[in-house]
Structure 1
Amino acid sequence: MAKRLQTGIDVLDRKLGGGIPAGSTVALCANPASQAELFLNELTAMRGTLYISLGRTEAAVQQSIDASPARTGDPTVRHITGDAPIDNASKLVSALPDASNLIVDPVDVLERVDYDRYRHFLNEVQNHMANTDGLAILHCLDGEDVPKGRDTTRFMADVVFDLTTEISADTVENRLAVPKFRGGRALNDVIKLELSERVAIDTSRDIA
């Protein structure tokens, strides 16, 4: 059995057989208005992390991590700007040490680049993770303008997390589905998460 890397969410790790297989690339797909960044922040607590930001500045990301109520680590944050985001991201990925996390937030900027170049970047990420027993998390924004490369991201990812947020008159519910899981079995059930202080399983009631 492949070595498993814990997410830090105890019940999720148990359901995944101990965590995510080392060397995996994960697509975390969530609405832009969700609290997905709490999920990302908590992942930084598990091991050394390179946090590539393609939207917010380094200072903004660091401030969010420092203020996060979730358990966090001390990631290296790099903000990529300019006309060659894939080239700049590739240089950072190639220098990532063994057994590290890679977070790309959001990956949408790269998904809008030329298909062949983006596919090549994903292959580079997967090869590096496999060779170093690392874990890559690609944060995919599921908003109104989904990039043309999203199908490629979900196809090439080893694991897909779909985080949905449902708003009713008096509650906000976050549900996590794992429809794809190479190296294990996809989850048949949906997990309700509490994304307020730290990421945890919401056991207040069963999911209908």
Structure 2
Amino acid sequence: MSRLATGIDVLDRQLGGGIPAGSIVHLAADPASQSELFLHELTTTRGTLWLTTIRSAEAVSDALDRSPGPAGTPTVRDVGGDAPLDTANSLVRDLPEGANLIIDVADVLERNESARYRKFLNDLQTHMVNTRGLTVLHGLKGESVPDNRDLTEHMADVVFDLDTKIDGSEIVNRLAVPKFRGGRALDETIKLRLAERVSVDTSRDIA
């Protein structure tokens, strides 16, 4: 089974070379975390369409330009208007072979009626399989999680769960991969350092 790199070497090694082509990944993260670094690094691997639902396209492009670490030059489109599911669906249909799709954040789409959102996910999954691409649905773990989040996690082939906590003077980021279709889910979390780029945090935990 062919694998697609995430752009994060340490993660790709842990996952046996990357994510299986044709997969949908759900990246769940706290709103105040540096989870966008994952998305920035993914844009360096291959052609990417970035659909933004909250920030403007200009704000996303500016953030990529100012990123202290690796970042590509994705095509950025704002789909957060009156019919976000319809707009996103029309853009997804034009994705070429082997491309990345980033939806940031998925929460806006998840707040649509369940049957319509389920159809969107099924159509997206079919397109990813046919084009051997990779989708990342960036979902927020805040206080107002959409009702359809369970649907997202069930349909996703891979789930990345980023947990960010402030422990005294230290910010601790741990990544869990509890779900991995077509591969092996990780038994333990990975302690990460999210600064200029995503790297392993080698500092020792103090009990």
When normalised by structure 2's length, the TM-score is 0.97
Instruction: Tell me the alpha carbon deviations over residues 3-56 of structure 1, each in whole angstroms, 9 at most, x when there is no partner.
Output: 001112112111101000000000000000100111111110011000000000
1:206 Cα shift?
Answer: 5.6
2:202 is equivalent to residue 190 of structure 1: no
| Aligned equivalent of 1:180 | 179
| Aligned equivalent of 1:84 | 83
Of 77-86 and 31-40, the range deviating more from structure 2? 77-86
SS of aligned partner of 1:189:
coil
The answer on whether the counterparts of 2:97 and 2:133 sit within 8 Å (CA) in structure 1 is yes
- Superposition map of 1:92-107 within 5 A: 92-107=91-106
| Aligned equivalent of 1:167 | 166
1:131 Cα shift?
Answer: 0.5
The answer on whether the counterparts of 2:52 and 2:80 sit within 8 Å (CA) in structure 1 is no
| Aligned equivalent of 1:203 | 202
| Aligned equivalent of 1:14 | 13
Percent identity (aligned): 62
Structure 2: 5+ residue runs without aligned partners?
Answer: none
| Aligned equivalent of 1:55 | 54
User: How many residue pairs end up in the alignment?
Assistant: 207
Measured in 2, the distance between the counterparts of 1:82 and 1:49 equals 21
Measured in 2, the distance between the counterparts of 1:207 and 1:114 equals 46
Structure 1 runs, 4 residues or longer, greater than 4 Å off: none
Measured in 2, the distance between the counterparts of 1:207 and 1:72 equals 33
| Aligned equivalent of 1:117 | 116
- Superposition map of 1:33-52 within 5 A: 33-52=32-51
Measured in 1, the distance between the counterparts of 2:127 and 2:161 equals 24
- Look up the equivalent residue of 2:66 and give its one-letter code: A
Measured in 2, the distance between the counterparts of 1:207 and 1:147 equals 36
When normalised by structure 1's length, the TM-score is 0.97
The answer on whether the counterparts of 1:192 and 1:207 sit within 8 Å (CA) in structure 2 is no
Structure 1: 5+ residue runs without aligned partners?
Answer: none
The answer on whether the counterparts of 2:80 and 2:108 sit within 8 Å (CA) in structure 1 is no
1:207 Cα shift?
Answer: 8.7
Measured in 2, the distance between the counterparts of 1:78 and 1:185 equals 34
Measured in 2, the distance between the counterparts of 1:81 and 1:39 equals 21
Measured in 1, the distance between the counterparts of 2:100 and 2:32 equals 24
Instruction: Tell me the alpha carbon deviations over residues 58-92 of structure 1, each in whole angstroms, 9 at most, x when there is no partner.
Output: 11000000101121111000011322110000000
Measured in 2, the distance between the counterparts of 1:52 and 1:45 equals 16
Cα separation, partners in 2 of 1:80 and 1:170, compared to 1, 3 Å? same
- Look up the equivalent residue of 1:162 and give its one-letter code: D
Measured in 1, the distance between the counterparts of 2:71 and 2:27 equals 18
Say what the alpha-carbon RMSD is for the aligned residues. Answer: 1.1
